[in-house]
Amino acid sequence: MQVGKDLGRAALIESKCRTLPPVYAAGYTEQTGTLLLYYDPLYPRSRVTLWVKELFSNCKETAELCDNRENGSLTLPSEIFKNTLAIVVYAIERTLMLTRKAEASGLRRFLNPTVLALLFASKQVIRSGLDSIMITKQVNAITLTAVAVLAAAVKGKAGSALIIVTLSNLGEILTHYTANKTRSYISRMLKLDVPYVWRVEKDGNEHSVHISSVVPGETIAVFIGEKISVDGCVTNGLGTVDESSLTGEFMPREVAKGSNVYAGSILKSGYIQILAERVGDDTAITRMLTLIEQAQSRRAPIQSQADKMAQSLVPVSFVMAAAVYALTKDWSRVMNMLFIDYACGLTLSTTTAISAAIGKAAKHGILIKGGQYVEWLSEVDTVVFDKTGTITEGRPVIRNILYFHNYTEEDVIRYAASAEEHSSHPLAGTILQYAKEQQLSIPKHGEVLNILGRGIQAEIDGNTVLVGSDLLMKEKQVDLGFRQAEELKAAADEAMIYVACNYKLMGIISVHDPVRAGMNRTINQLRRQGIDEIILLTGDKKRLASHISNKLFLDNYHAELLPEDKANLIKWYRHGGSRVMMVGDGINDAPALAYADMGVTLGGRRTDMAMEASDIIIIGDDPLQLPTLIRLAQHTMKTIRQNFLTTIMVNSVAMMLGAMGTITPVQAALIHNATTIGVLVNSSKIIFVKLPGNGNTSLRERR
C-alpha cells in the first residue's frame, strides 16, 4: 500500500495504523513510501484496506501524506522555508537586543517574534510528538523533540531550539538525499525511455511503432546509439552493446546472430535485428526495478534492533531531565537532557546504510531482495556452488560423439536435439547449436518428460528416446557395456550425455564445459574474506566433480545429486550452525537456493525459477561479483556498528556534561545533532565511495 514518502512521519503513520482493531504491527518504509501491515487474518483484506483509507482521509496530518510527489517529500521544502524564516527573525531580534542592551521578560519573553516564529516552524514536530503520546501512549524521539522545543519556547531559549530544528532538518535532507540518490540512480540507470521502436514487417521493411504495440515473436530493428527495448535474441546483424545498466560491466559486449540481448542496454556500434521474447513488464529491466522496490520493504534484523534500542532509550532523556530538575532546579540543565537523545542517530543511520548498500549493489549489477540479506551476507562462513553454468561457463562444446547399433553420428545428434529442444539446461543448448551448425533436420517430438537430475524422456517418430546421464540409462535398464564408452570415461574434464532409443544405446556425446574465467581469483578472495568452507554440489559424475574440486582447491564436493539431495545437504550444513550461501543458476538449483540462508543466482543463463527462489541476483557472468557482494555487506555492517558506538558514546558524554552544567543548551543541541549528521554522512558515503579492497579487487573496482 502506497502511503507517501515523508521520512519524518514514519512513526506517526505506524502509530495511527496500530489503532485499527485488526492491526497488531505496522512498518513504514521511507525509501518507497510503502506501508506494511500485519493484521488478524480473520478480517478480510478489503475491509482492512478500507479502514486504513478512512483513517488517512479523516486525519488531516496523515491525509496530506497520501499526496505522492516525485521529490519523495511533501512537507520538507515548506519546513525548510519555515525554518529559514525563524532564523531570519531570530537574527533580527538578536541584532535589536544588542542595540537595546535589554532582554524581554515574563510573558513578553514568550510572545516575542522569535519564539512565535520558532513555534510556527516547529508546528508539525510538536503536533506529531503530541499525537504519538495520545495515540500510542508512548514517548518516542519526535515526542522528545517536541517537548524540547516547547521547553525552550517557555524559557525564551529560542536559539537552542532553532539549532535543534535546523540541524534536524539538515539530517532529514541528508537522509532524503541518500534515499533519492539511490532511487534516482537506479531509475535513471534502468529507465527504458523508448516510446517508439522500429518493427520489422514480413516484407522486410521497418516501421516506427509505439513500444506498447510490440508483442513477443515480433522482430525489431535497433540502430547505432539506440536503446534496446525488449529482451530477445539477435536474428540478424552485428554490433556491440553497452550493458552497464544491467551488469555493471562497462566494457561493451559484441553481439551477433544467436546472441541474447536485454532491454535497457545500448547499441554502441553496428545494426541488429532482435526477435522479441520478453516485452513490457516482463523484461529483465522491469523485473529489476520491481525487485529493488520490494527490497526496501524487507528490513534487516539490525534495523529492528536499532528501533527497539532507540525506543527504549528515549525515556532515559525524560528520566534524566526529571532527576536533574529535582536535584538542581536548573532549567538549563533540564533542557540539556531534553536536547540529547539516541534515537535519531541509531535509527536513521541504520536505515540509510542499508538503503545505500542496496543501491550500491544495484550499481554493480547485483540485486539484493531485502535488507536482511545485507546483514546475513556479512556473516557468511560457507559458500556452496553448483557446477554447470555457475563454476563452469555454461557454454559447453561437443568434443566427441560415439554411436552404436547401426545408428549414425547424425542420428544421435538429431534425436538428442529433438528431445532437448525446450530444455533450459546449458548442455541442451550445446546440442541444439551443434545440430544447427551441421544443418541437420530435427524431428518433431511428442510428449516430453523431464526427469530432474537425470535427463529427459521423449516420444520421437514413434520411438521412446532417453537423453541424460548413465544413471538414467541404468534406471531404464539400458545396456552400457561398450569398451568405447569405458575408454571415453577416462577424460577427466568431460561430461557424457547418453542417448538411447527404445531402451538401446544409440550413442554418447562427450562435452567439455570449461571453468569460468576468474573463478580461481573468486575462490581466493572469498577465503580472504573469512569464508571457512567452499563446497561443490553437482548432479554430474564423481570423476568430473573431483577434477574441478581439486583444480580450484575446494574444501569438499558432492556428486551425482538429485535436486532434493542438494536441498537436503544445504539443510544439513545450516543445521550444523553454518551461515550458508548457495550459488546456482538452473531449475535443479531452485530447491537448494530456497533452503540456503542466501540463495544467489549468477550469470545470464539463469532460469526464472532460480531467480524466484533466490534472494540475490547477479545479472552478469563475472564470479568476482561474489566477493564484491560480501565485501559490501561487511563494510555496511562495520559502518552501522561504528554509528552505534559513536551515537551512544558521544550522546552519553554530552548528557553527563549537560547534567553537570558544563555545557549550555545550545552546545548540547549542537553536539547531539552534529553527531546525528555525522553518522548519517558515514552511512551515506557507502553509495559513493569505492568498496574497501583486500589487495586483490575485481576488474570493475579498478575501472
Catalytic residues: 386
Burial class (CB in 10 A: 0-12, 13-18, 19+), 680: buried
Instruction: Report angle CA 615, 620, 626 to the nearest 5 degrees.
Output: 55
Helix (H, G, I), strand (E, B) or coil at 582: strand
Sign of the dihedral through C-alpha 395, 397, 402, 403:
positive
Which of 192, 37, 178, 164 shows the shortest CA–CA distance to 90?
Answer: 164
Neighbours of 343 (CB within 10 A): 26
Burial class (CB in 10 A: 0-12, 13-18, 19+), 98: exposed
In angstroms, the Cα distances linking 48 to 1, 235, 253 are 11, 51, 50
Backbone angles phi, psi at 4, to 5 degrees: 150, 180
Distance separating alpha carbons of residues 2 and 153, to the nearest angstrom: 36
SS (H, E, C) 378-416: CCCCEEEEEHHHHHECCCCEEEEEEECCCCCHHHHHHHH
> CA neighbours within 13 Å on the CB side: how many for 605?
23
Beta bridge partner(s), residue 273? 221, 236
Distance separating alpha carbons of residues 244 and 185, to the nearest angstrom: 13
Helix (H, G, I), strand (E, B) or coil at 39: strand
Beta bridge partner(s), residue 94? none
In b/e form, how buried is each residue of 285-323, taking b as 16+ CB within 10 angstroms?
A: bbbbbebbeebbbbbbebbeebbebbbebbebbbebbee
